[in-house]
Amino acid sequence: MEVILKEDVSNLGHRGDVVKVADGYGRNYLLPKKLALEATAANKSVVEQMKESAVRRSAKEKGEAEQLLTLLNDVALVFERRVGENEHLFGSVTSSDIAHQLEEKGFNIDRRKVQLDEPLKSVGEFHIPVKLHREVTAHIKVTVKGEEKAEA
């Protein structure tokens, strides 16, 4: 099945691309989520108009992402978690935790844009990439500390 992408889909293509996908993937995922259109003759003519507007929109989004990049590169997040032996955390710091703390600081970043391969499970300092645009990636300094134990 051939479809025309309405949005960027990772590992598939960019907005406006005509791609060949499995029938089930197209019918059950891309079309219902409005990520793609069926590649008919009428839709292909609409694609040209979509590509022109997509280029303008992408340039605007990239400009906004670059402005956000300058602000985000100065951000440092600190998480305190309980630790056990060998500085190993009880629980972990996830991309949702990072996105939530960024939101508290006034940045509206979707958790899926935080490029965390696996949750942070140890104490230390990490530089976490945040994909703001397909060409713009910010790096946020995340520090995980052990919680101070209250002496009784």
Tens digit of each residue's pLDDT (9 = 90 or more) over 26-80: 999 999 999 998 888 788 777 777 677 778 888 888 888 888 888 888 888 898 8
The correct CATH number of 2-63 out of 3.40.50.2300, 3.90.950.20, 3.30.70.270, 3.40.5.10 is 3.40.5.10
The correct CATH number of 73-146 out of 3.40.50.1820, 3.60.21.10, 3.10.430.100, 3.40.50.300 is 3.10.430.100
Tens digit of each residue's pLDDT (9 = 90 or more) over 66-115: 888 888 888 888 988 888 877 778 888 888 999 999 899 888 888 888 88
C-alpha Rg value of the chain to the nearest Å? 21
Scored b (16 or more CB within 10 A) or e, 101-112 reads: bbeeeebebeee
